């Protein structure tokens, strides 16, 4: 293994429809035409990191179907190593996404092949040459727990985007170099952002949407403001863009605040275009 960054997580086909508003229970609303785009928190994170220049491999699974090909094509054309993306008997994961005029999204995920990402996939990989492992939680929790343990024992820094939110063993939290949560997740986990460190991670980042992010370390909290963007088109995958860009910069030797400053820019630029992976900027576009 020669990739500095390993990403463990999901790969989904995003079926996106624009709606004026979301339907209430038992209600039907008409939306726009369905657009199919490559997504999934793991694949998004890997693509965001690769676009800004990281050497990155995704550990994941897709089905042997057209959506699987769409995902492989997006990953590979962005420069992500897909040698560790297996083809499962199950269909490629699908995310059903509605986007409202303010750019906000809501998502239902059908995991499909992502449910097949297993502890043995982690055991099969080598951490040689890797400096960061970044995980998110649309693949089985036991696989993520196993990977974080293995990476930590191998001396590889570990980043976890706690999305979607789940309960983790204390030992796993203690093996984390960086815990990434949004404001709502942070509020569920601790009364005060400083208290996130008492859960076990060496550091934490609270993402604040259009306001940027807060880096929480033993030395204190540093708020990193976002950049202004002209128009918010679609926020889908902005958190994954942040996690990918942050991880990429960590492999390049940035400290956490420097990496977060870069990552808020990447996340902000990502909301100016539709979709997740298609919206991620290159290093040249970030400037």
Is 41 a residue that touches ligand RIB (CB under 6 A)?
A: yes
Is 221 a residue that touches ligand RIB (CB under 6 A)?
A: no
Q: Which residue is nearest to ligand RIB (CB)?
A: 39
Is 276 a residue that touches ligand RIB (CB under 6 A)?
A: yes
Full 3-state SS string of the chain: CCCCEEEECCCEEEEEEEECCCCCCCCCCCECCCEEEEECHHHHHHHHHHHCCCCEEEEEEEECCHHHHHHHHHHHHHCCECCCEEEECCCCEEEEEEECCCCCEEEEEECHHHHHCCHHHHHCCCCCCCCEEEECCCCCHHHHHHHHHHHHHCCCEEEEECCCCCCCCHHHHHCCCEEEEEHHHHHHHCCCHHHHHHHCCCEEEEECHHHCEEEEECCEEEEECCCCCCCCCCCCCHHHHHHHHHHHHHHCCCCHHHHHHHHHHHHHHHCCCCCCHHHCCCHHHHC
Is 240 a residue that touches ligand RIB (CB under 6 A)?
A: yes
Q: Which of residues 58-97 bind ligand RIB (CB under 6 A)?
A: 95
Q: How far is the CB of 161 from ligand RIB (least distance, A)?
A: 9
Residue 107 or 222 having the CB closest to ligand RIB: 107
Number of residues that bind ligand RIB (CB under 6 A): 16
Is 107 a residue that touches ligand RIB (CB under 6 A)?
A: yes
In whole angstroms, what is the distance from residue 71 CA to residue 226 CA?
A: 29
Residue 12 or 152 having the CB closest to ligand RIB: 12
Any catalytic annotation for residue 116? Answer: no
Identified binder of ligand RIB from the candidate list 4, 8, 12, 146, rule CB under 6 A: 12
Binding window for ligand RIB (CB under 6 A); candidates: 7-15, 165-173, 174-182, 222-230: 7-15
Residue 16 or 217 having the CB closest to ligand RIB: 16
Binding window for ligand RIB (CB under 6 A); candidates: 34-42, 122-130, 242-250, 260-268: 34-42
> Residues with Cβ < 8 Å from 101, sequence gap 6 or more?
18, 20
Is 185 a residue that touches ligand RIB (CB under 6 A)?
A: no
Q: How far is the CB of 39 from ligand RIB (least distance, A)?
A: 3
Q: From the candidates 116, 121, 234, 240, which is the catalytic residue?
A: 240
Q: What is the contact surface with ligand RIB in residues (CB under 6 A)?
A: 10, 12, 14, 39-41, 44, 95, 107, 109, 138, 236-237, 239-240, 276
Catalytic residue positions, numbered: 240
């Amino acid at each position: 293994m020669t990739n500095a960054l390993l990403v463990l997580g999901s790969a989904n086909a995003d079926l996106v429809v624009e709606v004026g508003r979301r339907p209430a229970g038992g209600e039907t609303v008409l939306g726009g035409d369905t657009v199919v785009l490559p997504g999934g928190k793991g694949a998004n994170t890997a693509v965001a990191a690769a676009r800004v220049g990281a050497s990155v491999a995704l550990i994941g699974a897709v089905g042997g179907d057209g959506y699987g090909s769409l995902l492989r094509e997006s990953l590979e054309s962005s420069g992500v190593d897909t040698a560790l993306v297996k083809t499962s008997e199950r269909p490629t994961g699908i995310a059903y996404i509605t986007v409202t005029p303010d750019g906000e999204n809501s998502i239902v995920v059908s995991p499909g092949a992502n449910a097949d990402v297993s502890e043995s996939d982690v055991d099969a990989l080598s951490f040689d040459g890797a400096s960061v492992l970044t995980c998110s939680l649309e693949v089985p929790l036991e696989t993520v727990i196993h990977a974080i343990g293995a990476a930590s024992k191998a001396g590889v820094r570990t980043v976890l985007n706690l999305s979607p939110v789940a309960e983790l063993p204390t030992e796993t939290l203690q093996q984390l170099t960086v815990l990434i949560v949004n404001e709502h997740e942070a509020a569920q986990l601790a009364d005060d952002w400083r208290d996130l460190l008492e859960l076990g991670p060496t550091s934490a980042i609270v993402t604040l949407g259009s306001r940027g992010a807060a880096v929480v370390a033993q030395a204190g909290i540093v708020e990193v403001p976002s950049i202004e963007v002209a128009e918010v088109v679609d926020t889908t995958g902005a958190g994954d863009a942040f996690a990918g860009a942050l991880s990429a910069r960590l492999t390049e030797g940035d400290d956490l605040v420097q990496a977060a400053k870069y990552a808020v820019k990447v996340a902000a630029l990502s909301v100016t275009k539709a979709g997740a992976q298609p919206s991620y900027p290159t290093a040249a576009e970030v400037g």
